[in-house]
Amino acid sequence: MYDAILFDLDGTLLDTESLALTTGAATFAAFGHDDALARLHDLVGVDQPTVARKIREWYPQVDLPALQADWNQRFHDAMSSAVPLKPGATELVHSLATRHRLALVTSSGRATAMDKLTRSGLLPAFHTVIVREDVTHPKPAPEPYLLAATQMQADPARCLVFEDSEPGAESAHLAGMRVVQVPDIHPPSGKFAHFIASNLQDGAAWAGLLP
């Protein structure tokens, strides 16, 4: 039915987006900006270079390297005991890997993504991992998903994607793939999804992936 199944990481398989928001808000407050939380919602699903550019636009006087280091440390400390997974993510991914080729497509950098995948136990399930450094134009451009399809020798039209964010869903949609959107932080627009699921299992059932 599908040549490959592709997953986003943060917010789709890992319950990390809310953690990034709360630790980010704490960092900005520590740097004297108590108004940041609403703005941080605009960074969900966005790659790090774009995050840095937006922060510079919002707070031109902030010491960006120091702020990013503080935010990274708070996030790292919050995840020090375990990587929070979405309900059923481990079981679904490893079950699908026995019958399908899987790819992971994330806007995170390589070191961060591989650390999360390794610590969560998800890494062995994936044939291909595409990270921020692998592309010139990250999500919402289609390049990340098209690159994954190329590496897996898969027809994009026969690929199924699980995404949570609007930039991610748009990326997969523009790549010509079938998109299941499982919303995390923001309600979806519905413009880029073939199906909006309440959870991963709901989406997998709709796609005919469950026994």
Summarize pLDDT for 75-98 with one digit per residue, the tens. 888 887 778 999 999 999 999 999
Question: 132 Cβ partners below 8 Å, 6+ apart?
Answer: 47, 48, 49, 106, 107, 108, 109, 110, 138
Asked which of 2-16, 78-92, 164-178, 197-211 is least confident by mean pLDDT, the reply is 78-92
What integer pLDDT is reported at residue 34 of this predicted model? 87
- CB under 8 Å to 114, separation ≥6 — which residues? 123, 129, 131
Query: Which residues are CB-contacts of 208 (< 8 A; sequence separation ≥ 6)?
Result: 1
Token digits for 77?
A: 């400390």
Which residues are CB-neighbours of 44 under 8 A, at least 6 positions away?
Answer: 11, 17, 21, 165, 184, 185, 186
pLDDT digits (tens, 9 = 90+) for 129-151: 999 999 999 999 999 999 999 99
Predicted TM-score (pTM) of this structure: 0.86
Q: Where is 173: in which H helix or E strand?
A: helix 166-174
61 token code pair: 């006087």
* Residues 172, 145 contacting (CB under 8 angstroms): yes
Q: How far apart are CA 174 and CA 155, in angstroms?
A: 14
Query: Would you state the pLDDT for residue 138?
Result: 95
Structure tokens at 83: 């990587």
Residues 6+ apart with CB under 8 A from 148: 4, 6, 103, 105, 128, 130, 154, 159
Give the tokens for residue 18.
């809310």
Give the whole-number percent of the chain exceeding pLDDT 70. Answer: 100
